Amino acid sequence: AAPVICSKKILLICLHHSHLSQPVCVDVPSGTEAVLGKMMKLTCISCMKREEVKVKTHVDWYYMTKVEQGIYKYEGNFPMEMDGPFKGRLMWDGSQDLQDLSISIVNVTYNDSGVYECHVLREFEFDAFTPSAFVLKNITLKVKEEGGFRCATLSPRASLYSEIMMYLLLVFLTFWLLIEMVYCYRKISKSDDLVQDTG
């Protein structure tokens, strides 16, 4: 009976710890290279501590030109698209716990290149006071064609070395093939001689 009781205790402890565990928040930088015509996620993560339970979160996304241009906001538990060139091409891509406050651009164009800012304002609700915290994330986005890349150019000296190595490799392979042919020819000749002697 003792092993059964022990296993039940272990199970209860595991269930207790799994109930207390919280999703881990990792602040990762956003990608900065988008592919033309594809979807691109602009990552904005603002991690909160466990004790920060009662909090109001306001998020404002801006496309930075000569002046700040508001393109998206999250307020009152509702994401909202702003009027402008991005309207109809932005979607909320954040998490329910509002630690991930990202958005995604649908059907990326070359005009989407530029600087984006994510402004996060959190107002914490305590009994006596309501402190706030502000976080700003900056993303510089570049748009390129799908599969587009630049070949690395070698210096003249490196190019010469690569050609020499290629020729040496060809000579070695030719020499090795010649040796194999001679070896096979001798082996066949010996087998023919053995057959004739046996006959």
pLDDT of res. 57: 93
As a residue count, the chain comes to 199
| Coil/strand/helix, residue 55 | strand
* pLDDT (0 to 100) of residue 9: 47
For residue 16, the model assigns a pLDDT of 43
What mean pLDDT is reported for the chain?
A: 82
Q: What is the pLDDT of residues 123-167, one digit of tens each?
A: 988 777 888 899 999 999 999 987 654 444 556 777 777 888 888
- Pairwise CA distance, residues 117 & 136, whole Å: 7
Distance CA 135, CA 161 (A): 52
pTM for this entry: 0.61
Residues with Cβ within 8 Å of residue 115, at least 6 apart in sequence: 63, 64, 138, 139, 140, 141
Indicate the range of 1-5, 85-89, 157-161 predicted with least confidence. Answer: 1-5
Q: Give 66-69 contacts, CB < 8 A, sequence gap 24+.
A: 68/117
Helices (H) and strands (E) in the chain, counts: 2, 9
